[in-house]
């Protein structure tokens, strides 16, 4: 039996993606650019994979659900592919956090719990389009915690592949990179070395019995 391929699509552009604000669990919608990106991504995926997928999943967050819909796919929500819970980093930029810490801060190496407590607390943010969004800033997930979740996702996707099924997952930059790291057996911190642009996708497969990343940011 031919093994199945796994497609991992990042959602389209949001205003926080443009501003560099950490967007974990906050339900920030796509921009007009992001909506067009989603449509274009759907066309690229169908050109590469013209047959229907055996299963399509999406993060339940609105930016992923909207991307899946605009790309032309009916998707089931899957909580495990929600984005990393950034905790006190949510809605803040790396530069803002680094300035207060007095040193460079990196989510991959430091995690959300190194973010100063003054950045914590729930609130409401007003987006550039005037929409208000609720922002939760708790303790967040450590990289080990989110990688455990990504590993569960990778294990389930590996079973689909072994069954010869092709699957599409629409989700977010960090969680998808961590799923890819789990697929090929790399450390979670290695995910920081791979950039995944908005509305671009990864293909995971196997070659000669070895899990591989077949395409990246296509």
pLDDT (tens digit per residue) in 66-101: 999 999 999 999 999 999 999 999 999 999 999 999
- What are the beta bridge partners of residue 10? 171
Catalytic residue (choose from 22, 49, 51, 83): 83
pLDDT digits (tens, 9 = 90+) for 141-160: 999 999 999 999 999 999 99
Q: Does 1 have pLDDT greater than 80? A: no
pLDDT digits (tens, 9 = 90+) for 12-36: 999 999 999 999 999 999 999 999 9
On whether the CB atoms of residues 26 and 53 are closer than 8 A, the answer is no
Q: Determine the pLDDT at residue 115.
A: 95
| Phi, psi dihedral angles at 58 (to 5 degrees) | -140, 150
Q: Determine the pLDDT at residue 142.
A: 97
> Cα-Cα-Cα-Cα dihedral of 64, 26, 16, 114, to 10°?
-120
Residue 83 designated active-site: yes
On whether the CB atoms of residues 145 and 119 are closer than 8 A, the answer is no
Catalytic residue (choose from 11, 22, 172, 200): 11
Three-state secondary structure call for residue 100: helix
Q: What is the mean pLDDT of residues 31-57?
A: 98
Residue 51 designated active-site: no
Q: What is the mean pLDDT of residues 30-43?
A: 98
């Amino acid at each position: 039996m031919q093994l199945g391929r796994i497609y991992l699509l990042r959602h389209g552009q949001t205003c926080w993606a443009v501003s560099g604000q950490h967007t974990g669990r906050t339900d920030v919608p796509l921009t007009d650019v992001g909506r067009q990106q989603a449509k274009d991504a759907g066309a690229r995926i169908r050109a590469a994979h013209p047959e229907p997928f055996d299963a399509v999943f999406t993060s339940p967050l609105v930016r992923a659900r909207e991307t899946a819909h605009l790309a032309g796919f009916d998707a089931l929500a899957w909580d495990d592919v929600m984005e990393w819970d950034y905790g006190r980093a949510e809605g803040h930029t790396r530069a803002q956090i680094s300035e207060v810490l007095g040193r460079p801060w990196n989510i991959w190496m430091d995690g959300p719990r190194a973010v100063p407590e003054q950045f914590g607390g729930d609130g409401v943010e007003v987006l550039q389009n005037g929409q208000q969004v609720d922002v939760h800033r708790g303790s967040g997930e450590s990289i080990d915690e989110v990688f455990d979740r990504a590993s569960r996702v990778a294990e389930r996707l590996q079973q689909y592949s072994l069954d010869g099924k092709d699957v599409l997952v629409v989700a977010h930059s960090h969680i998808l990179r961590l799923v890819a790291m789990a697929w090929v057996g790399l450390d979670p911190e290695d995910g920081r070395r791979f950039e995944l642009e908005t509305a671009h996708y990864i293909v995971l497969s196997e070659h000669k019995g070895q899990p591989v990343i077949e395409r990246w940011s296509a």
